[in-house]
Amino acid sequence: MRYIMIVVALAATLGSTALVADAQSWRPPTDGQRCPSKWGPNDERGSGNHMKPESVLRATQLIKTGEVIELGYVLSGSIPVFGTRRFDVHTKRTFMNQFSNRRGSNEELVVSEIGQVGTQLDGFVHQTIEDKIYNCAKLDDISTRTGFTKFGIDKVGMLMTRGVLIDVAGLKGVDMLPDTYEITVEDLERALQRQNMKLQPGDAVIIHTGWGKLWMKDNARYVKSCPGIGVKAAEWLAKQDPMLIGSDNWPVEVAPNPDPQISLPVHQILLVVNGIHILENLKLDDLVAKRVNEFAFVMQPLKIQGGSGSSVAPVAIR
């Protein structure tokens, strides 16, 4: 009798475990479902393939006044950083030369995870599904002690295209969305409708949550959690075929995810599955204050050979 009860209890436990597993909100697609990329089996650029003379010309048509609005934060030792990342600057004052013109000079040593601090662009080798990245490339096949031999951030180059600000915080009538608020497809569609705008293939899609108001004011809260897009919104945005997706928070997506069983799935959806770059920690206060919802977007990552990402200083020109 006791044996039967144990078996029944074990079956019930396994059954409940299966139900929990089945309730998982998102699962990574198989290699066969996501590869090869729509850009071809040997492609390394993903959504960067939208960068063509046509995208540049389309962007220049949006420039009416020539005003430049900076979207990147200043790098310093006091910025919010995630986990054990760091940014330290050590000034190196060199000697005074003894020539008649008395030339002196200064330099600096920067100790940092330069690809993943501040306003940053995520490259494709930054995230994986198990041991594979975008286009099902195996990490073991492309990784070395001196960087990745393929898919490095140095392959991205200069990006210039139409930029579109989706002001979700403005849609909700708040300066800042609540902690862990998940932005939905409906939120994005309603915000675009409110702004009388539509997305086009190759856009730089920028999402305003208001979370940047915490930057260097409450760093602990800034990196602890944040509002951002959820799985459905990410999949919807990917279908719009953008050049990149960015936001004024640290992961673009909602964190932690409402489903406790998954970790930063939007990173996998955009970078690994769809080959769409992610732009994090954007400074959007000026853009929002001036109600600039459409602009020429210009950015170029550092050419870090084989790097997983790059600190960047993007600009909006109107």
Taking residues 225-241, what's their average pLDDT?
98
Q: Which of 106-110, 149-153, 236-240 has the lowest mean pLDDT?
A: 106-110
Fill in the DSSP letter of residue 30.
Answer: P
CA distance 138 to 73: 34
Residue 85 lies in a domain: no
Q: What pLDDT score was predicted for residue 13?
A: 45
Residue 265 lies in a domain: yes
Q: Is 41 helix (H, G, I), strand (E, B) or coil?
A: coil
Residue 297 lies in a domain: yes
Residue 33 lies in a domain: yes
Residue 86 lies in a domain: no
Residue 88 lies in a domain: no
Q: Is 255 helix (H, G, I), strand (E, B) or coil?
A: strand
Q: What is the pLDDT of residues 35-67, one digit of tens each?
A: 999 999 999 999 999 999 999 999 999 999 999
**Domain assignment of residue 165, given as a range:** 26-71+116-317
Structure tokens at 225: 């959690």
Confidence of residue 83 (pLDDT cuts 50, 70, 90): confident
Contacts of 214 (CB under 8 A, 6+ apart): 80, 176, 221, 222
Judge whether 119 and 301 are in contact, CB under 8 Å: no
Q: 């959007």: which residue's tokens?
A: 284
The total of structural domains in the chain comes to: 1
CA 204 to chain centre: 11
Q: What pLDDT score was predicted for residue 290?
A: 97
Judge whether 230 and 261 are in contact, CB under 8 Å: no
Judge whether 87 and 76 are in contact, CB under 8 Å: yes
Residue 217 lies in a domain: yes
Helix (H) or strand (E) holding 197, with range, is none
Contacts of 213 (CB under 8 A, 6+ apart): 175, 176, 285
pLDDT higher than 60, residue 283: yes
CA distance 165 to 160: 15
Q: Is 279 helix (H, G, I), strand (E, B) or coil?
A: strand
Helix (H) or strand (E) holding 312, with range, is none
Residue 31 lies in a domain: yes
CA distance 216 to 168: 22
Of residues 265 and 4, more confidence is placed in 265
CA distance 227 to 248: 10
Contacts of 96 (CB under 8 A, 6+ apart): 102, 103, 104
Q: Which of 11-15, 100-104, 115-119 has the lowest mean pLDDT?
A: 11-15
Fill in the DSSP letter of residue 196.
Answer: T
> Counting runs of H as helices and runs of E as strands, what totals does the chain give?
10, 15
Strands 309-311, 294-299: pairing is unpaired
Average pLDDT of the residues of the chain? 92
CA dihedral sign of residues 235, 236, 239, 241: negative
Confidence of residue 142 (pLDDT cuts 50, 70, 90): very high
CATH number of the domain to which 264 belongs: 3.50.30.50
Confidence of residue 5 (pLDDT cuts 50, 70, 90): very low
